[in-house]
Amino acid sequence: MQLPMRTPLFSSFFMMALCLLFFRASVVSGECLGDQQSSLLQLKKSLVFTTSLSTKLVHWIEDVDCCLWDGVTCNDGRVTGLDLSDESISNELDGSSSLFRLGYLQKLNLAGNDFNYSQIPYQFEKLKNLSYLNLSNAGFAGQIPIEISRLTGLVTLDLSNTNSFVPLVIESPNLATLVQNLSELMELYLDGVHVSAQGSEWVLALSSSLPKLRVLSMSRCHLSGPLDSSLLTLRFLSIIRLDGNDFSGPVPEFFADFQKLTSLSFKACGLTGKFPEKIFQLPTLRKLDLSSNVLLEGFLPEFPPNGSLENLWLTQTGFSGTLPHSIGNLKMLSTLDLSDCNSMDQSQAQWQTLHNWFMWTWQATISLDQFHHSAWPRI
């Protein structure tokens, strides 16, 4: 009887040993290399942050493997990702910071901190392996250093700065120089950055250097027109957000030639002239915001079957005419804002269209502030 007893005992020991081995192996593969751990600890020591607001740094503990720390991603014990966004960091980032010794970093997010209106340290150029850099609303200010242009592996760059009184600036070096060698870039966010550029220089800078660009977000960048057709060179563009610039001119028809455009936003851009109706008919377009351009004229064309528009804002524009019945083709429409659109024919005859439309879009939001609430159709 003893032999059968021993076998399960032996095999359970064996299993345990095997488990331990596997456990050990899995820890080993994530084990932080010594220099990486010490660089991170030095970084933590150098940062001033509010313990009660921190959710990552505050939990970094010396005797735990750094690859297990919140906000840290490793590959073979090397730190390849660091997310210290919204950590309430409030001091300047020193150029000698051990951050710049983390040469394996591919993704770095320092967004939503307060680096005390200091300049972006030029030492970022040491992080040659970066493909994702996010410094949005991080409290950096002043000229963006030329060294950022040496991070030629960048795929995503977010320097948007929308809630700071002291702006980030792109003047010298200018935009053309800064993006000249960033040919891998797919997403560029510069919202709120003061860009110095004459006329359509900014378009030429982007179109000659960023062939892979998909997201262009440059709201309130002090850009001017005309909107040069070389923008069309960036044929992968899917999102174009240019709100709050001063183009003082028309929207050219070439915008209807972007094959992948899903979102176009020109809110408060001082647009004039007639808006090309072809743009409404772009089969890929889901979101169009033309609001707050009082001198922009146009009318809503017939919409093709299976139109993809989901959100349409024409608030405070000079659009005129009536709602076409084919608006019912826009099965995905969830927002249609025509409020303060003084020239639109918002007569009772429109109600049948809207009523029909309401029958299938329960969640739709329509704003036509000319109408009294009592007049809303019943569904």
Ligand X SMILES: *[C@@H]1O[C@H](CO)[C@@H](O)[C@H](O)[C@H]1NC(C)=O
Could you list the residues that contact ligand X (CB under 6 A)? Answer: 48, 85, 90-92, 103-104, 109, 111-112, 116, 128-129, 134, 136, 149-150, 156, 158, 177, 180-181, 187, 189, 305-306
Residues 130, 158 contacting (CB under 8 angstroms): no
Q: How far is the CB of 97 from ligand X (least distance, A)?
A: 13
Taking CA atoms, 70 is separated from 158, 223, 340, 357, in Å, by 22, 39, 48, 48
Query: In terms of CB distance, is 46 or 229 closer to ligand X?
Result: 46
Query: In terms of CB distance, is 54 or 134 closer to ligand X?
Result: 134
Look at residues 280, 290, 336, 292 and name the one whose alpha carbon lies nearest to residue 310.
Answer: 336
Q: How far is the CB of 225 from ligand X (least distance, A)?
A: 26
- Dmax over CA atoms of the chain, in Å, equals 97
Q: How far is the CB of 205 from ligand X (least distance, A)?
A: 12
Query: In terms of CB distance, is 155 or 294 closer to ligand X?
Result: 155
Q: For the chain, give me the number of helices (H) and strands (E)?
A: 5, 19
Q: Classify the C-alpha dihedral 339-341-344-346 as positive or negative.
A: positive
Q: How far is the CB of 100 from ligand X (least distance, A)?
A: 10
The answer to whether the bond into 226 is cis (omega within 30° of 0) is yes
Q: How far is the CB of 80 from ligand X (least distance, A)?
A: 8
Q: How far is the CB of 290 from ligand X (least distance, A)?
A: 24
Query: In terms of CB distance, is 71 or 252 closer to ligand X?
Result: 71
Taking CA atoms, 176 is separated from 191, 198, 356, in Å, by 17, 12, 50
* Residue 144: Cβ-neighbour burial (10 angstroms; 0-12, 13-18, 19+): buried
Q: How far is the CB of 272 from ligand X (least distance, A)?
A: 32
* Coil/strand/helix, residue 28: helix
Query: In terms of CB distance, is 21 or 146 closer to ligand X?
Result: 146
Query: In terms of CB distance, is 112 or 252 closer to ligand X?
Result: 112
The residue of the chain with the least Cβ separation from ligand X equals: 103
Look at residues 71, 77, 64 and name the one whose alpha carbon lies nearest to residue 36.
Answer: 77
Query: In terms of CB distance, is 125 or 253 closer to ligand X?
Result: 125
Q: How many CB atoms lie within 10 A of CB 126?
A: 19
Query: In terms of CB distance, is 24 or 325 closer to ligand X?
Result: 325
Q: How far is the CB of 106 from ligand X (least distance, A)?
A: 8
**DSSP secondary structure, 175-213, as one string:** HHHHHTT-TT--EEE-TT-EE---TTHHHHHHHTT-TT-
Taking CA atoms, 153 is separated from 37, 128, 179, in Å, by 25, 7, 12
